Structure formats: C-alpha cells, structure tokens
Amino acid sequence: MIDPTLLPFFQPQGVVILGASREPAKLGYGLARNLLWSGYSGAIHFVNPKGGTLLGYPLYTRMAEVPDPVDLAVILTPPPSVPGMLAECGERGIRAAVIATGGFRESGPEGAALEERCLEVARKIGMRLVGPNCVGLVNTHLPLDTTFLPPPPAPVGEVAFISHSGAICAAVIDWVRGQGIGLSHLVSLGNQVDVTETDVLAPVAADRHTKVITLYLESVSNGPRFVEQARQAARQKPLVVLKVGRYESGKRAAASHTGALAGSDDAFKAAFRRAGVLRADNSEEMLQWARALAGCPLPQGRSVAVLTNAGGPGVTAADAIEQLGLRLAELQPYTRQTLQALLPAAASVQNPVDMLASATPELYARCLEILLEDPGVHSAMVITPPPPMFSAGQLARTLIPVIQTTPKPVIPVLMGERMVQEAVEHFRAAHIPEYRFPEAAASALSALVWRAESLARLDEQPWQALDADPERAHRVLSESLPGQFLAQEAANELMEAYCIPTVPPRLASSAAQAMELAESAGFPVALKVASPDIAHKSDVGGVLLNVPDAAAVARGFDLVTQNALRVKPGAQILGVHVQRMLPPGQEVIAGAVQDPLIGPLVMFGSGGVEVEGLKDVAFALAPLTRSEAEEMLEGTWAGRRLRGFRNLPPADRASVLECLLRLAQLAADRPELAEIEINPLRVLGEGQGAYAIDVRARKK
C-alpha cells in the first residue's frame, strides 16, 4: 500500500524551488532549468530573497508570496537556513520537501545536529523529507526533474533507479543514455533523515511505466521492514540491487559516507534472497540485468540453445552458461534432423549450433525458429561476429520478427563495436536487449532464470513446528543472565523445547560422581569440562572422547579440569559434563544469530573444530521455508556430503533438514536469544536421526 504522504514527491500539483538562482554557474540555476526543461505541466514557483525574474518566471522573495497550487518544495539554500525554510513551507501548507543542500550529517557533528533539527521541524508540522545531501527526483513519464544534474536529461524508459549516492545518479543517467536504456524514475535519497529506500519501494513498484527497479544501497534503515516491503514490490516488478560495503574497507567507507550502520554481508544475502531481490556484483551488471528483465519474457527453465556462425563464440557461450548454473539444451532428434537438412554438411547441429560463416540472415532466422520450437529449449542466445558477406543490420532486421513473436527469451550477441552499430540501433529501436560478448548474454539469461524461479518462491510460507514450546524457551532464557552463555543444561532445554534431539550432558562435580554418571549412561562416554569462562572446550584440552571405563573416567576428570586451568588460570570450573557417546556419523554445524540490522539468521555448514578455517557455511533468514533449508544443504559441501560420498554412506539428511527448520523457528520466536550453536550436530545413518552433541547459547 502506498503511503499517501509520499505522493507529492512522485505526482506533485505544484513545485517551489527555494534557492533558485539567476547565475548560470549556481546549482540553483541548474535546478530551475531542469524543472522547466523537463516539461513539467504543474505549477512552477521560484523563491530567492533578491527577487526579480528567472527564465521568465517571477522570483518570490519569501514563501508566503507563493501562490497555489504548490505541494512539493525543493530546498537548495545554505545549511543553517534549512530548518527555517522548512518552517516557512509548513506555514504555507506544504507537507513534502526535498533538501538538496549538503553539509549535514556527512560533514560532521555540527551537521548531524542541524540535520536532526530539520527532522524535528518536519515532524512537528507533519512534513516528509527526502535528503538532505541528495540530487533529487526524476519522473520521466510525468514528466518531472527536480535535480541540478547537467543536461541532457535522463532518457525516458522503463527502469527505475533508487540510490543512496547522488554522484552515482549522474553517472547512471549518462551511462544508460549511451546503452539504449531509459529510466522511468530516479530517486536520490542522500542522508535519509526521513524518507528511506524502503519507503519509496511501494510507489515506484506501483508505477505503470516501471518494469524493473534497480537500487544502489550502502545499507538499509530497517532490515525486517525492508525485507517485507521489497518482497511485496518483487511480486510486482523485478528488483536488482547493488549492495556495496561487503568488505571491511568498503563498510568503513559506507559508514563515513552515510552515517548508517552496515549489517553483515551474509545477512544481506539472506535478506535479498527472502525478499526475491536479485543482487548484482557490480554497477554494470545491475544495469545490464535490468535491460534483460525489462525487455525479455521469462524462461520456463534453465536450458539454453546457442546459435552461431563460428565455433569459438559457441564454446565461449557454452562455458559461460555452465559456469552460471544454466545448461545447454539437449536438442530433440527431430530438431537436429531439421537443422541438418538446412545446413551444410560441415555445420554442427549439436548445441551450440554452428551454421558456419556462410550463414545468411534468412538461415539465421529459420534456424532460430526451429530451435525455439523445441520443447527442451527454454531460451536462446544468437551470436554473430561482424558477418563477412552481409551487414549486421540486415541480420538484425531479419531476426527481430522472430524474437518479438516467441514467448521464449532470445538474447542477441553482436560481437564487435563499430561494424555492428547498425544492428545495435535496430535491436534497441525494437526494445530487444543486445550484448557484445557471450559471457554478458549468459549473465543476462541467468538473471531471467533467477527472476522466474524467485517468483515461484515468493508465496512460500516459512515452516512451522506445531509441537514447539516457545514459552518454555522463554522461561529458560528469562532465568539466564543477559550477555552470558547459558549453562549447558539450559542450552539443552532450549533444544528440547523445539524437539531437537540431544545427548543430554550430566554435570559431575567430582570424579566419583562422574564415574556414577558414566556407569548409568553406558560406556564409552565423553567428558567435557564445564566452565562459564570457556567457550571452546577443545581449544583448552577440555574434551575427552570414547572414555572406555570407570577408571579412565576418574583419570579423565582430573585431566580435563587440569588442562583447562593450565590454559585459562582463574577460570571457574563447575565440574565435568558426562555424555553418552553416539555411534560414528557425519558431523555438521547448525546455528543462529540475531543480526542487529536484518534480524535472525540461521547458519549451516561443516562442523567440528575446523569450522572457521573451512568456512563451508550458508546463511538464511529465519524462520526458514523448506526450500531455503534445502538450498542451505545443497549450497555447502557438508550438506551435499550427507547423500554419501565415496566410502561415506548416506546420512539422515531429512533429520538435518528438520533440525535446521526447528532451530530457525527458535531464533525467530525468541529475539532475546543473541546466538545459539550446535557444534557438532552428529548425523547418523539414514533413518537413525541427528543429535545435538554440544550446544552453546547466549542471551542478549
């Protein structure tokens, strides 16, 4: 649902520019010029205390003089004056303002205090703010341009761009102009003192001219709300995000630029996956994917046919397709026979189909039709270097009717630059995205496949354990100290509350008691030092496995406690936990953590003492859907190995899947649980279960 308070930013009845200037070198002049040149049909007003006229319009000396209609203010006055300008706008009845002025939070503490003052004024009068320190807004279809960017303006099109960076907005406008891409909206958010990237998703997604939404993000203002709003928007339009700050240096740069806290990159990956948002690795990839998503139908599967007139480009395409998780289509015998009847004997009718250099535009078109008629072909890539006997423009004109009438996506690859420009122009005029190299085309096809598959997941609901006892978990946590790891018995009780099988540890405060507990559990047993001061017991020699008898238990009790005290003198030793040893099996790790920005994340991967070194882990947002849990298993070697590998028999994969689902629900149900980890989770043979052997949990 669109927030009505945001409508003046997208469909204003009248716009006033405060700080409009008659000096062509000033940004205030550029802003006024762009608003007039955009063709905006609503009322236009300029304010400058010096008065006079600007571009044929009067310059009012103060806001009170501005006539109706006016419902959007754009402010480009010195920073100290902005709170007063907002107050004047409020008195005039304006409830939406773009603060293009810089010199606020990004400039230091004094600027941050001034920015806070602007927000206080706006909230007092019920005004919404975009910025400060932003470029402004563009709606090419209204049309409306409230930016001060240099001409020419953004080309009209179907891709919306929402950005935390104003400088990137200017670069994107210039880049898309040269790539045959048009923009529907451009939204520069700046410091986001009020209106955020999440707020503008709904109105942009509802715009009938927008086919794809792209975003440049440095962080998000509210992780859970972003996921919710982005998921709703993704049901209507594809969302492609460039999220920067994934590495430590980038995070520092993003924080200094926006003043926002950055969440972990794993958290953002999980959030984007849940929301149905496609994440690009770089700026060009984001926009090239947007071209494909705006101009192509979605495929019904991952199988690609490649049509070319040369072997090298076909092999290049095949490699790129396989690398991106797509596959070469297995052509039907009838398809191959039909192609063989048309092509020279030396041509290849296997996929990739190589027609040889003599292929004419008509032969290209007919072979493409044959490939698209094959039910095993879900999409096609058509590749041509500069043709030797005819122009690339002729080829484009012949292929366009075939591409426009098929329900399957077809990506043309025009290898070269100057000699293929005529073909480029023909394809762009027909709104068919073309690429220079097979790798870029394969990447575009992978984006189409991802979008098709993500649409099918957007309505999937998280799995729920109806037999879980969240109140029992709440009681356990309420009895624990904030910021501290839970006692082992309490951590295991959390597992029991969510029906995750454990091997209950029993605490022995003396060697004699350890012997009694071991006798009742049955040999062999495991001994683990019990100490609230020692998180990783194996690191201090505090673990003994396969202890065979009572005498060995007595010796082991002394050994693990002495080892712990030698490595960590002064640690509080409560005793030793005695556990029954399970049969051999595969060991994995499962855990959950509350990300401060995004919310609860669940983790799965290779377990044991090498988990940090191997880094064979996957993350997803909790609670999990069943398909997300499946992807976590398939996305790690630990999960794939559960099906069996060489001398490893298949393990109880279904039990691991259920454990993940239950652990994720625990993390989602109990936000006061800062983190929980099962390491290892011992996975026995098929049908024999998976058991949490060692559980660590910490309360916020």
Please give the share of the chain, as a percent, with pLDDT higher than 90: 84
Other C-beta atoms closer than 10 Å to the C-beta of 30 total: 19
What gap in Å lies between CA 521 and CA 120, rounded to an integer?
A: 65
Other C-beta atoms closer than 10 Å to the C-beta of 171 total: 11
> Token digits for 325?
């998780």
Residue 304 maps to a domain: yes
Between CA 579 and CA 586, with CA 580 as vertex, the angle to 5 degrees is 100
Same domain assignment for residues 62 and 120: yes
Note the pLDDT of residue 248. Answer: 57
Same domain assignment for residues 516 and 383: no
Q: Domain containing 692 — which CATH number? A: 3.30.470.20
Note the pLDDT of residue 249. Answer: 47
Note the pLDDT of residue 504. Answer: 86
Q: Is 52 exposed, middle or buried (0-12, 13-18, 19+ CB in 10 A)?
A: exposed
Reported as a pLDDT band with limits 50, 70 and 90, residue 610 is: low
Residue 344 maps to a domain: yes
φ, ψ dihedrals at 369, nearest 5°: -60, -40
Domain that holds residue 319: 297-457
In SS3 terms, 284-317 reads as HHHHHHHHHHHHCCCCCCCEEEEEECCHHHHHHH
What gap in Å lies between CA 181 and CA 173, rounded to an integer?
A: 9
Domain ends where: 250, 271, 292? 292
Same domain assignment for residues 268 and 121: yes
> Token digits for 316?
């290049």
Same domain assignment for residues 568 and 594: no
Rounded to the nearest integer, the mean pLDDT of the chain is: 93
Q: Domain containing 321 — which CATH number? A: 3.40.50.261
Task: Report the predicted TM-score, pTM, of the whole model to 2 decimal places.
Answer: 0.90
In SS3 terms, 412-481 reads as EEECCCHHHHHHHHHHHHCCCCCECCHHHHHHHHHHHHHHHHHHHHCCCCCCCCCCCCHHHHHHHHHCCC
Which pLDDT tens digit goes with each residue over 638-670?
999 999 988 889 999 999 999 999 999 999 999
Note the pLDDT of residue 575. Answer: 92
| Strand 695-699 with 617-621, pairing | unpaired
Note the pLDDT of residue 16. Answer: 98
What gap in Å lies between CA 401 and CA 426, rounded to an integer?
A: 12
Instruction: Say if residue 264's pLDDT is above 90.
Output: no
Residue 486 maps to a domain: no
Looking at per-residue pLDDT, the higher value among 78 and 610 belongs to 78
Residue 659 maps to a domain: yes
For residue 517, give every residue at least 6 positions away whose Cβ sits within 8 Å of its Cβ, in sequence order, or none: 506, 508, 578
Residue 498 maps to a domain: no
Q: How many domains does the chain have?
A: 4
Identify the weakest region by mean pLDDT among 69-73, 170-174, 605-609: 605-609
Residue 469 maps to a domain: no
* Nearest one of 236, 47, 207 to 137, comparing CA atoms: 207
Residue 13 maps to a domain: yes
Same domain assignment for residues 435 and 307: yes
Reported as a pLDDT band with limits 50, 70 and 90, residue 258 is: very low
Note the pLDDT of residue 262. Answer: 34
Same domain assignment for residues 267 and 304: no
Instruction: Say if residue 179's pLDDT is above 90.
Output: no
How many residues belong to the chain?
700
Note the pLDDT of residue 539. Answer: 85
Same domain assignment for residues 453 and 522: no
Same domain assignment for residues 242 and 266: yes
What gap in Å lies between CA 85 and CA 94, rounded to an integer?
A: 11
What gap in Å lies between CA 563 and CA 584, rounded to an integer?
A: 26
Which pLDDT tens digit goes with each residue over 213-243?
999 999 999 999 999 999 999 999 999 999 9
Domain ends where: 268, 292, 316? 292
φ, ψ dihedrals at 31, nearest 5°: -65, -45
Reported as a pLDDT band with limits 50, 70 and 90, residue 178 is: confident
Query: What is the per-residue DSSP string for 629-658?
Result: HHHHHHTSHHHHHTT-BTTBPPB-HHHHHH
Same domain assignment for residues 424 and 512: no
DSSP conformation class of 691? E
Which pLDDT tens digit goes with each residue over 369-395?
999 999 999 999 999 998 888 899 999
Identify the weakest region by mean pLDDT among 418-432, 534-548, 603-617: 603-617
Same domain assignment for residues 193 and 318: no
CA distances from 161 to 264, 282, 680 (A): 24, 15, 45
Residue 225 maps to a domain: yes
Which pLDDT tens digit goes with each residue over 118-135?
999 999 999 999 999 999
Same domain assignment for residues 242 and 316: no
Note the pLDDT of residue 253. Answer: 44
What gap in Å lies between CA 76 and CA 47, rounded to an integer?
A: 10
Same domain assignment for residues 303 and 263: no
Domain ends where: 457, 484, 516? 457
* Nearest one of 51, 52, 20, 53 to 35, comparing CA atoms: 20
Note the pLDDT of residue 537. Answer: 85
Reported as a pLDDT band with limits 50, 70 and 90, residue 487 is: confident
Reported as a pLDDT band with limits 50, 70 and 90, residue 247 is: low
